Each structure stands twice: as structure tokens, then as C-alpha cells.
Chain A
């Protein structure tokens, strides 16, 4: 079975500081991994995805994530936080061949001025 754990339900950073959102996964097969962002009262928007082509994945809005198989991690980073980055972030892994995604519980990012 596959699972995702997001460490820290709330993360607070100052504007301009590094953003690091942690995601660890469990999968018995090579995984496909995703990060989504959700702004209040909106649907989820794909930030980036790991396709096995490259371990360092660049996404939209200056975010990137690195796949580390040895650590079963896929942490999301951004060098400099903007106020507009305040949102909820979800990490997800695919589930077998049904197309279903297994989501983490989400991390709320607060950006302080």
C-alpha cells in the first residue's frame, strides 16, 4: 500500500525566507509524486510532478522539489517566500493502476511580512 506523510500541519516563514515543506512517501513500486497548492475556497492546482526523468523537479511560482529514493522523501522548497505563497500545500503519490492519488494531510504555509 502507498502512503504519504507531510511533517508539520502548519509552517510559518517570514517574507523572503526559505520555504521548506516536508513530504515522505511509502511505496512498494516506483512512485509518481505530486505537489498541489490550494488557495482558500479554490480547487487544487498542480505545482510540480516527479516523473522519474529527473530527481530535481522545477514547478510553477519558483517552487522545486527533490526526489530522494534513499530517504523516501519529496520535499518542496522555494528560496524566497512571497506573501502570495500563503496557502495549503498537499503532497500526493499515485496508487497502482487505478489513477487514484493518495494525499497527505496538507501543510498550511503562513508568510509573515
Chain B
């Protein structure tokens, strides 16, 4: 069966510090991968998605970047965090086989920038 991991689970970082969040998927090949952010009291905002190694699409201009160095690994990064980067970050995956394309979500990372 497929599983998705995210780490760390929680993170407290000072403004201006770097960030690296990691997401890995097991049990599937060539998945589409997604990074979302939930700010307090708001819905899901799609930040990045990737259809393959090295292929990243950015949905909104921001202080963050994403990379996909391996088929089942997706990394969210920042060189200098802002207060507005605080939120709950979710990684998700799906495959493009025929039929419904539901996404499967990881457990999330709670980031607090102070």
C-alpha cells in the first residue's frame, strides 16, 4: 500500500532563517506531488506541484521554492523565512491513471515563524 511521510511534524523558526520541509511517498511510481499551505482560519492554498523529477510549477509568487530531486521526494525550501510563512504545510500525491484523481495527503508540518 502507499504511504506518504512528512517531516518534521512541527517547527519553530526565527524570521530570516532558512527552511527545508521534506515529503516522501512510498508504494507508487511517478506520482504527481503537491505542496499546500493552510494559514490560520483559511483554506488550502496550492503552492507548487510537480509531474516529474526536476519539474516544478509554482502557483503563487512567494518566498518559497520547491524541488524534486527523486521520483518520490518533494522538498519545500526558503532562504529567509517571513512571519507570513507561518502555517500548516501539507504534501499530497496522486497518479494520472484513468479515473478519479483523488489526492492523498500527508500528516502535515506545523511551521511557526517568530
Contact = CB atoms under 8 A, between A and B. Distances in A.
Contact of A100 (B42, B46, B88, B107): B46
B106 A98 contact: no
B31 to A, nearest CB: 9
Interface size class for chain B?
Answer: 20 to 34
Nearest to A32: B100
Given A41-B108, A98-B49, A105-B43, A34 B102 contact: yes
Contacts of B42: 105
B58 interface: no
* Contact residues on A (Cβ < 8 Å of other chain), bracket: 20 to 34
Contacts of A104: 43
Nearest to B4: A43
Given A49-B100, A97-B96, A103 B44 contact: yes
Contact of A32 (B43, B88, B101, B104): B101
Contacts of A106: 43-44
A7 to B, nearest CB: 14
B68 to A, nearest CB: 14
B27 interface: no
Given A42-B107, A90-B44, A49 B49 contact: no
B27 to A, nearest CB: 16
B105 A90 contact: no
A106 B41 CA distance: 10
Contacts of B88: 41
Interface string B53-93: 00000000000000000000000000000000000101010
Interface of B: 32, 34, 42-44, 46, 49, 51, 88, 90, 92, 94-96, 99-108, 110
12 contacts: A32-B100, A36-B105, A42-B108, A43-B90, A43-B106, A49-B100, A90-B43, A99-B51, A100-B46, A104-B43, A105-B42, A105-B43
